[in-house]
C-alpha cells in the first residue's frame, strides 16, 4: 500500500483545485478535482500524506472531469446517442464508470436529446436514401438508439409528416423503373431498401 504526499494545491477555474502529488517513489504528478471532493477528504493541506483510498477518490474525480470535458468536445462535433457517446469515451481510454457518469451528466444538461436526434436522423435517411421502415430502424439501432426509441422516433416523424414511406417507395420505384429494372429486380430493391 502506497502513501501519497500533497506537494501543493492551487485554484483551477471555478470550484476546482489543481493538486500536485508525489507517490512513494517521489514521482510527482498533478490531478484536478472539484473543491467538493477535496473538502470530502478533509481539505488536506500541503505536506499532508494521503492514503491509498484518498488517492483513488482523487484519481477517480480527476478522470471524471477529463471524461466530462472529452464528452463536451465530442458532442460539439456531432450528435450522438447515449450509447454512442459512452462507446467513444471508453475507446478513448476512460473507465466504464467515468464514461457512464459523463454520459449521464450530458443527458442531464440536455446535450443529448435522443428523441429529437433519432427523429431527425430517421427523416433524413428516408428523404436522402429513400429507405423503408426496416432499413431506417436498423440504421437507428446501429447508431446506438434502443429499438423502442428508434420505433418511437419513426412513428413520431411519420405522425408529424416528416416521413412518408409510401411516397418514398413510389419515388424509389420510379427511379428504378427509369433504369429499366425488371419486376424481380424491383422486388429485390424494395427488400434491400427496407420495404
Q: What is the mean pLDDT of residues 127-154?
A: 94
Residue 114 predicted with pLDDT over 80: yes
What percentage of the chain carries pLDDT values higher than 90?
A: 79
Residue 1 predicted with pLDDT over 70: no
Residue 94 predicted with pLDDT over 90: yes
What are the C-alpha distances in Å from 13 to residues 33, 82, 168, 188? Answer: 10, 28, 52, 60
Residue 78 predicted with pLDDT over 90: no
Q: What is the mean pLDDT of residues 109-131?
A: 93
Q: Quick: pLDDT tens for 147-166.
A: 999 999 999 999 999 999 99
Q: Quick: pLDDT tens for 30-74.
A: 999 999 999 999 999 999 999 999 999 999 999 999 999 999 999
Residue 2 predicted with pLDDT over 80: no
Q: Tell me the pLDDT of the chain averaged across its residues.
A: 93
What percentage of the chain carries pLDDT values higher than 70?
A: 99
Amino acid at each position: 500500500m502506497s502513501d501519497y504526499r500533497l506537494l501543493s494545491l492551487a485554484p483551477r477555474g471555478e470550484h476546482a483545485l489543481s493538486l500536485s502529488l508525489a507517490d512513494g517513489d517521489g514521482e510527482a504528478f498533478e490531478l484536478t478535482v472539484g473543491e467538493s471532493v477535496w473538502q470530502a477528504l478533509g481539505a488536506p493541506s500541503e505536506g499532508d500524506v494521503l492514503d491509498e483510498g484518498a488517492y483513488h477518490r482523487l484519481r477517480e474525480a480527476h478522470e471524471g472531469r477529463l471524461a466530462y470535458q472529452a464528452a463536451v468536445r465530442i458532442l460539439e462535433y456531432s450528435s450522438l446517442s447515449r450509447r454512442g457517446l459512452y462507446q467513444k469515451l471508453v475507446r478513448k481510454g476512460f473507465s466504464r464508470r467515468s464514461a457512464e457518469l459523463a454520459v449521464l451528466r450530458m443527458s442531464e444538461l440536455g446535450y443529448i436529446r435522443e428523441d429529437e436526434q433519432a427523429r431527425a436522423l430517421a427523416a433524413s435517411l428516408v428523404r436522402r436514401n429513400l429507405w423503408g421502415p426496416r432499413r431506417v430502424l436498423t440504421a437507428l439501432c446501429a447508431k446506438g438508439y434502443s429499438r423502442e426509441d428508434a420505433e418511437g422516433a419513426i412513428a413520431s416523424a411519420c405522425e408529424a409528416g416528416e416521413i412518408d414511406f409510401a411516397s418514398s417507395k413510389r419515388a424509389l420505384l420510379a427511379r428504378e423503373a427509369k433504369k429499366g429494372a425488371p419486376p424481380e429486380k424491383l422486388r429485390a430493391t424494395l427488400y434491400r431498401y427496407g420495404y
